[in-house]
Amino acid sequence: MLEFADVSKSYPGGFVALDRVSFKLEKGEMAFLTGHSGAGKSTLLKLISLIERPSVGKVLINDVDLSRIRRPHIPYVRRDIGIIFQNHRLLMNHTVFDNVALPLVIEGFSGKDMVKRVHAALDKVGLLDKVRCLPHTLSGGEQQRVGIARAVVNKPPLLLADEPTGNLDPDLSKEIMRVFEAFNQVGVSVLVATHDLGLVARMKYRTLTLKQGKMINDGLLQYQEDPL
């Protein structure tokens, strides 16, 4: 499903954000990506979502080399990837419905079909009753869940999350993770970048750990951090 083959990324000025990173995420697999801030998590996600291009190496999704994707085709690639942002990046002057419907509108859905899908996505994250609300009337956790609903509304085969629990308390974080698990169970590949090591350790999923751009761990996280 997702494959990194000896990927390095250096920025102008010589800063090496990723150093020969290789890993494979299978179809229907769920994994965490951890590391301190500046370890290269964001860069890795940017390479997948084609915000950045690798300096060396190849990123493949479903055996398609992303370096072959030309600029005009980038939007179509992004439609196959659900992205969840740390600061959820909702459109604050649009309703929850409009926010979640955005990817569908972009793909040309309309009418009943669109409404059905939006309601299904909001139902999965438990926010069906907030359809007509504006995002700023919701709590932080609810806003994050709207962001998740938006990412999954067009049923992408791959889901990326960048610090989805960054600003949330432990209970809410766990709840968000449960939502990801639920999607994983219906066959979606999920990659969650987080520095919440306690949560990662409790969840017992494959964990990729980056340190200064190098992949230092691939597998279950071994140590158990103190609960918060």
Partner 1 sequence: MSILFSGRVSSGAAEHKISLGRRFVMFWVNHLRQAVASLGELWRTPSASILTIGVLGVSLTLPATLHLLVKNVQQVSDSFTQAAEISLFIKDGSSDTQISSLQKILQADSAVARVTHISKQQALDEFAAVSGFGAALNYLTDNPLPDVLLVLPKNTNADSARQLLQRLSKERIVEFGKLDIDWLTRLDAIVSLLRQAVLVIAILLLGAVLLIIGNTIRLSIMNKKDEIEVMKLVGATDAFIQRPFLYGGIWYGVFGGLLAFLIVEAMLWWLQGAIVSVTSLYDSEFSLMALSLAEFAGLMLLAMALGLSGSYLSVRRHISAIEPTGP
Say which residues have a Cβ less than 8 Å from residue 153's Cβ, sequence separation at least 6.
100, 101, 103, 104, 117, 118, 120, 121
Instruction: Return phi, psi of residue 64, to 5°.
Output: -100, 125
Strands (E), the chain: 2-10, 16-25, 30-34, 56-61, 64-65, 81-84, 158-162, 189-193, 206-211, 214-220
Task: Select from 143, 120, 141 the least CA-distant residue to 133.
Answer: 143
Supply 137's token pair.
């009337």
Smallest distance, partner 1 to C-beta of residue 49, A: 6
Q: Which residue, 12 or 108, is less far from partner 1 as judged by CB? A: 108
Provide the greatest CA pair distance for the chain. Answer: 52
Smallest distance, partner 1 to C-beta of residue 90, A: 8
Binding of partner 1 by 130 (CB under 8 A): no
Q: Could you count the other beta carbons within 10 Å of the beta carbon of residue 107?
A: 13
Q: Give me Rg for the CA atoms of the chain.
A: 17
Binding of partner 1 by 18 (CB under 8 A): no
Q: Mark residues 40-79: x for contact with partner 1 by CB under 8 A, - for none.
A: --x--xx--x-x---------xx-x----x--xx-xxxxx
Binding of partner 1 by 103 (CB under 8 A): yes
Among 31-39, 153-161, 202-210, 218-226, the segment contacting partner 1 (CB under 8 A):
153-161
Among 98-106, 121-129, 178-186, 215-223, the segment contacting partner 1 (CB under 8 A):
98-106
Q: Are 215 and 41 in contact (CB under 8 A)?
A: no
Among residues 24, 36, 89, 178, the one that binds partner 1 under rule CB under 8 A: 89
Among 8-16, 82-90, 133-141, 178-186, the segment contacting partner 1 (CB under 8 A):
82-90
Residues that bind partner 1 (CB under 8 A): 42, 45-46, 49, 51, 61-62, 64, 69, 72-73, 75-80, 83, 85-86, 89-91, 102-104, 106-110, 113-114, 150-151, 154, 157, 160, 162
